[in-house]
DNA sequence: TTTATAGACGAACACTGTTCGTGTCAAGTA
DNA sequence: TACTTGACACGAACAGTGTTCGTCTATAAA
């Protein structure tokens, strides 16, 4: 079951033994291997390219083989999300610095989504409750409760913050997908052409019908995704702070 | 290429002309009809059931026939979103009451998403820029600008609010989809069973590892989707208000 | 050595979005 | 009235999808 892959210092099997005939007698699949492969496909080819067949192909087998280790595509996506969620680092909880730590958590998650953009599409398509999700929930929720926020309100606040983080990442992933579909490789190049497109479109709008949009085209396209993310994050954190008792 | 759509003041064909006899000598497809049918399918059978074939079937034709009026599925989804966005009512702008009016807009959109839950999945899957989207953007953006917010910041605020509204609706739509997949019809019944599932799971968690989650199970599941929506909305609006100059 | 079983896998099913080529009808022109 | 033209409905097909079934085999247990 847990036969190791051939490590480099192992003596290779002589090619004349069991060569030709039954070359790969049995592949050894595992859930971890499948999840890892799925994540690799997701990162390199995007969400739309992630299919059971594609994963199986990368493992040099057929799609049916995966179903012994994974219930289906939905579970695979959840497992991939759990997998990357496990990567994020959480500090020791310090309720006195709840705002700073909550922002730190948000930035950590945001950074993860920048490394694995299409995971956001997997994340929003499911309701994950694996160990990594629980770990994150315990951290964030506990932070607010220990800082003195009423438990019910802390639940609401964390729920909203989580929705924002995933939602923002999802939006980013959509742009990555569009970039990929347009055959571009460089993110900056894509962003530039996208903005240019919007600018020219907004400029062509009838001034009397859309005065504000037409007049402030440059203001509307000034901020990039990162700016937008930080603004929304600050909005939420400040709102939470304003509701924190006896701050 | 730039054939105009039928304007409303055009005289309709009298119903007694070409009546009875050759009832459908030729199916009378049109983009509007396709979009309307797509919306009906979306509402009655859900996002996952919406396929070009399904829409074509509802129109008693084959899938290929749709492509003369619609570029593809993606465009169809955008058109459906635009269609329902056109339904929402916007009041006369009154910058002095910007917060109230912005909340009103949010509630209007929220109500629309409750009527057409799966449209949220179509909305988040695209970057809509049709006339209805522009109308909404002009209203909300103009509201903040006229209320005195710097244009660039108003752009950020509206962008974040929009993301929140669609994101929340998307989450709701996922639950509707799960309900449908479970064969349930009643939303309350589904919500109840879903909460019960979470509660029993959280109760089974190791207390020493997840003390907060395990201890506050009831607090975590107290609020329903509507509560959560309003809390997040208040969070954002308050945050925006705090940034409004000389408020 | 025999048996039992976990799991790899080929083939197939019922779908999907989309394209091509054909056919046919309605309007415009001579 | 006869002819041309062009829009468009549509059958068939292609390449892909997630998933299931049944078989077959290689390893572990007896």
Structural domain spans, chain B: 23-70, 90-243
Q: How far apart are CA A164 and CA A168, in angstroms?
A: 6
- A184: confidence class by pLDDT, cuts 50, 70, 90: confident
Q: Which residues of B75-101 are buried (b: 16+ CB within 10 A; e: fewer)?
A: ebbbbbbbbbbeebeeeebeeeebbeb
Question: Domain B90-243 sits in which CATH superfamily?
Answer: Tetracycline Repressor, domain 2 (1.10.357.10)
- A8: confidence class by pLDDT, cuts 50, 70, 90: very low
DSSP string for residues in B121-142: HHHHTS---SHHHHHHHHHHHH
Q: How far apart are CA B207 and CA B213, in angstroms?
A: 8
How far B27 CA lies from chain A's nearest CA (Å)? 34
* Protein-covered nucleotides on strand C (Cβ within 7 A): 7-12, 15-21, 25-26
A69 touches strand D (CB under 7 A): no
Sign of the torsion formed by the C-alpha atoms of A114, A115, A121 and A125? negative
Contact B242, A242 (CB under 8 A): yes
pLDDT recorded at residue B104: 97
For A72-81, A177-186, B62-71, B166-175, which range has the lowest pLDDT when averaged over its residues? A177-186
B62 touches strand D (CB under 7 A): yes
Q: How far apart are CA A27 and CA A64, in angstroms?
A: 13
- B25: confidence class by pLDDT, cuts 50, 70, 90: very low
Which residues touch B161 (CB under 8 Å, ≥6 apart)? Answer: B102, B106, B140, B236, B240
For A153-167, B10-24, B214-228, which range has the lowest pLDDT when averaged over its residues? B10-24
pLDDT recorded at residue B246: 76
Nearest Cα residue in chain B from A235 = B239
Residue A130 per-residue DSSP state: S
**pTM (predicted TM-score):** 0.88
What's the CA B52/C1' C11 distance, rounded, in angstroms? 28
The span from the first CA to the last CA of chain B, in angstroms, equals 50
Q: Do A141 and B228 touch (CB under 8 A)?
A: no
- For chain B, the farthest-separated pair of C-alpha atoms sits apart, in whole angstroms, at 79
Q: Which CATH class is domain B23-70?
A: mainly alpha
Decide if pLDDT at A56 tops 90: yes
How far B65 CA lies from chain A's nearest CA (Å)? 25
Backbone angles phi, psi at B188, to 5 degrees: -65, -40
H-state helical runs in B70-220: 73-85, 98-115, 119-124, 131-146, 151-181, 187-203, 211-215, 217-220
Q: CATH topology of B23-70 equal to that of B90-243?
A: no
3-state secondary structure of B168: helix
Which of A148, A130, A172, A142 minimizes the C-alpha distance to B205?
A: A130
pLDDT recorded at residue A245: 93
């Amino acid at each position: 079951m847990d036969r190791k892959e051939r490590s480099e210092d192992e003596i290779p099997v002589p090619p004349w033994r069991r060569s030709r005939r039954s070359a790969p007698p049995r592949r050894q699949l595992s859930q971890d291997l499948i999840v890892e492969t799925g994540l690799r496909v997701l990162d390199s080819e995007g969400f739309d390219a992630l299919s059971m067949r594609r994963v199986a192909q990368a493992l040099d087998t057929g799609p049916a083989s995966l179903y012994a280790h994974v219930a289906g595509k939905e579970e695979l996506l959840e497992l991939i999300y759990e997998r990357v969620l496990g990567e994020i680092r959480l500090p020791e909880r310090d309720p006195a610095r709840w705002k700073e730590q909550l922002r730190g958590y948000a930035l950590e998650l945001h950074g993860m989504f920048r490394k694995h953009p299409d995971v956001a599409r997997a994340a929003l398509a499911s309701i994950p409750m694996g160990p990594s999700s629980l770990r994150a929930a315990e951290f964030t929720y506990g932070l607010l409760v220990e800082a003195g926020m009423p438990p019910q309100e802390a639940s609401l606040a964390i729920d909203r913050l989580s929705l924002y983080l995933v939602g923002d990442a999802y939006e980013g992933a959509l742009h990555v997908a569009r970039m990929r579909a347009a055959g571009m490789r460089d993110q900056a190049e894509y962003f530039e052409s996208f903005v240019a497109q919007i600018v020219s479109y907004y400029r062509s709008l009838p001034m009397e019908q859309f005065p504000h949009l037409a007049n402030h085209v440059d203001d509307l396209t000034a901020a990039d995704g990162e700016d937008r993310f930080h603004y929304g994050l600050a909005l939420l954190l400040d709102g939470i702070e304003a509701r924190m008792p006896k701050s």
